[in-house]
Amino acid sequence: MKRILTFFVVAIMSVASYAQYNTGDISIRESTFYFGARLGIDFSRLTGDISDVRARTGLTLGAIAGVRISEDTPICIESGIYYTERGANRRLEGYKERINLSYLELPILVKYGFGLGNDMAILPIVGPYFSLGIGGRIKDNVSNVSAFSDDNFNRLDMGMKFGCGFEYNHLYLEAGYQLGIANIAKASLKTIHGNAWFINIGFNI
């Protein structure tokens, strides 16, 4: 947790410094492509046929590309590749269990820009995401096993992403919620979904 918070604070200072020396019109005013980077944290948990679950804090890191699809309306389509850390913490009859899940995520998002003047805009976000599990462990007091073994979780996940972004010059900030739709439990007669709140910072160029 300390590592994530330290990294997050340093990133905020770095991106703010970048934005200070890179002014210009925001992307919703142009019919063009844009690219960017994202860094953030998420607060994830598992819901469904799983008990005694608490949220887990993880890191998010991504690279994005987008395009405004209409010259008359500020609608953008954005996608990219994210590395995300998900999972949950549990307390079970005197011992603790940590479920750590790492994914590569591909979102396909629609954004609508509302210009506020002075190079600022608000951009509501909605769209699906698709995730592939690339690593993960389930740890407790006595065991440490793969999260994607035959008895635990599926590697493939998908869901819907909702949120809102704020852009000033090249600086970008967004927050929202990811609702897991796919059942990631491998066990029969069991249903588990992965959900998360997220906060990301970054820049668009």
pLDDT tens digit sequence for 154-164: 999 999 999 99
The CA-to-CA distance between both ends of the chain, in Å, stands at 30
**Segment 28-42, tens digit of pLDDT:** 555 588 899 999 999
Q: In the structure, what pLDDT confidence band is assigned to residue 2 with cuts at 50, 70 and 90?
A: low
Please, which pLDDT band fits residue 99 given cuts at 50, 70 and 90?
very high
Q: What is the DSSP letter of 70?
A: -
pLDDT over 90 at 95, yes or no? no
Place of tokens 């549990």: 90
Question: Could you tell me the sign of the dihedral formed by the alpha carbons of 133, 125, 56, 180, in that order?
Answer: negative
Encode burial over 159-180: b for 16+ CB neighbours within 10 A, e otherwise: bebebebebebbbbbbebebeb
Q: Which residues neighbour 155 within 8 Å (Cβ) at sequence distance 6 or greater?
A: 132, 133, 134, 148
Tell me phi and psi for residue 140, to 5 degrees: -140, -160
More confident residue, 141 or 173: 173
* pLDDT (tens digit per residue) in 152-205: 999 999 999 999 999 998 899 999 999 999 999 998 779 999 999 999 999 988
Q: What is the pLDDT of residue 151?
A: 83
Mean pLDDT of the chain: 86
Prediction pTM value: 0.84
pLDDT over 50 at 26, yes or no: no
Assess whether pLDDT exceeds 80 at residue 123. yes
Strand, helix or coil at 170? coil
Amino acid at 67: V
- DSSP bridge pairs for 57: 43
Q: How many whole angstroms separate alpha carbon 154 and alpha carbon 192?
A: 10
pLDDT band at 19 (very low <50, low <70, confident <90, very high): very low
Q: How far is CA 11 from CA 6, 39, 82, in A?
A: 9, 7, 16
> Radius of gyration over alpha carbons of the chain, in Å?
19
